[in-house]
Copies of this chain bind each other. A is one copy, B any other.
Amino acid sequence: MIKKTLIFSLLLWNACLLNSAEIEQYTVFELELKGPSEGNPFKEVQLSAEFTLMNRTLFCEGFYDGNGIYKIRFMPDEPGKWTYLTKSNNKSLDSKKGSFICIPHSPSNHGYVKVRNTFDFGYADGTPFYPVGTTCYAWVHQPEELVKQTLETLSKTAFNKIRMTVMPKNYDVYINNEPPFYPFEGSKEKGWDFFRPNPAFFRNFEQKIIELQKLGIEADVILFHPYDFGKWNLDKMNTEEAIFYLRYLIARIASYRNVWWSMANEYDIMRKSDEEWEKYFRVIQTYDPYGHLCSIHNGMGWYNHSKPWITHLSIQTAYLQDIQDWRELYRKPVIIDECVYEGNIPNDWGNLTPEEMMNRFWIAYCRGGYCTHGETYIHPENILWWSKGGTLYGKSPERIAFLHRIMTEAPAEGMYPLHNEWNKETYLIKDREYYLYYYGNSQQAKARIFLPKDVKFRLQVIDAWNMTITPVEGEFSGRVEIPLPGRPYIAVRARAVKSQ
């Protein structure tokens, strides 16, 4: 550590002498270049750069931003003096050299999120990240007023991840508005030129990612989805077009630290072959220099999550009892990204009680996974959070925030869900140190728990719904029975009394 700091100090000193730009670690260095605007610069002009820090070089594609402007965005992940060298098939963009100084991240910037300890998540700087996500698929495609409201609402919650689509959405009576921008030149009627992205569309999209970043929220960016249903035919790209779109998007947004890739929502409804999806995953593997988290979300199908490009499971299911099995099978984190939503619409995926929405978060967590929220209350103007954002009306978000607090208070290392072969209850454990028993919608009047006989524990009864934590008087070891309130959504937390 001392050595690294020393090297960095030397580099920094060197940098100051050279008067290079300073870029904070895990933020975006943007190189802007002028180039040709004739023809189709999106397609015809190739631009990339190599960014080098000492013995390490990262390859990064640039993109055309319209009006003869080309950009290369890069997120340095280590402090020090980075140099770069551009490559292009256009002379005016080729062989540009430069450097900048990456300074260490500020305390509030922990970097991008990656897998931590096989089953969990953590920021690049080592800080644990406990995902409590929500879902606003097409919030970026709403009027600016509504977008602002969404961000304001989010700022008051504990949600730290949001599932959102790149493309606009058309679904049932609930969402069918035209987006403020279209992603490509053309129109539904005349057809789209998928090789001519609309920079205004993508600027809007990436601006929303930046807004989320300010709120500490990870953008789980859904690259493809099946909810077009002939309204725009934006889901009708062929393979070449899809790959072009992915590369353009990656060039624009991969450098934002809060980006996650969700290859598709309900991928199986799109009826692409596994081979087709693999081509797309290969694009991400090739062009994302940072190895952002990457998943694919199922409808009725089931993806082979053992594939190496899948960093974590992003599952749709209403049944959570298999999470431990999936952990063991795939050795990856599991997020139940749709367990259906709190709300009261008639659709079978949109009418959970707030109790059940919260309950599923607790169950997923205590089984060693994570869960994602969504809200679908009937609204006179069909502004449902799940698709459009706006305001939250439900009662689960504050309970989910309470659970997030419980997560942050657990040991960051060594936690695992107890293998309970009867699979009726859910315990999250760190041996001899921390035991979290969650009783779901059961109503036992007593908890009977088994603690190590030679370690003393303090116990608390947690009411997940009423968000209270009540200490149990005394210290406990071995087999313990304590009274419970005899109503649903109760947990017991046992924490070892630390030796002094």
Contact = CB atoms under 8 A, between A and B. Distances in A.
Q: Which of A344, A346, A423, A448 counts the most chain B CB atoms within 10 A?
A: A346
A21 interface: no
27 contacts: A300-B421, A318-B321, A318-B423, A319-B319, A340-B424, A344-B444, A344-B445, A344-B446, A344-B486, A345-B444, A345-B446, A346-B444, A346-B445, A346-B446, A346-B481, A348-B422, A349-B422, A349-B424, A351-B439, A351-B443, A351-B444, A351-B445, A353-B441, A353-B442, A353-B443, A356-B442, A378-B446
A445 to B, nearest CB: 4
Given A318-B423, A346-B448, A346-B481, A443 B340 contact: no
Contact of A442 (B351, B378, B423, B447): B351
A239 to B, nearest CB: 28
Interface in A401-456: 420-425, 439, 441-448
A488 interface: yes
A7 to B, nearest CB: 55
Contacts of A300: 421-422
A488 B441 CA distance: 14
A451 to B, nearest CB: 14
A347 interface: yes
A319 B321 contact: yes
Nearest to A340: B424
Contacts of A425: 348
A442 B446 CA distance: 28
A346 B444 CA distance: 5
A340 to B, nearest CB: 7
Contacts of A378: 445-446
A352 interface: yes
Nearest to A172: B448
Nearest to A319: B321
A348 B447 CA distance: 10
Interface in A439-483: 439, 441-448, 481
Given A344-B443, A345-B446, 12 more contacts: A300-B422, A318-B424, A346-B446, A346-B447, A346-B448, A346-B481, A351-B442, A351-B444, A351-B445, A352-B442, A353-B441, A378-B446
Contacts of A347: 448
A391 B442 CA distance: 22
A-B complex: 3 closest residue pairs judged by Cβ atoms? A346-B448, A351-B444, A351-B442
Contacts of A422: 300, 348-349
Given A346-B444, A346-B446, A446-B378, A353 B488 contact: yes
Nearest to A439: B351
A226 to B, nearest CB: 14
A345 B444 CA distance: 5
Contacts of A345: 444-446
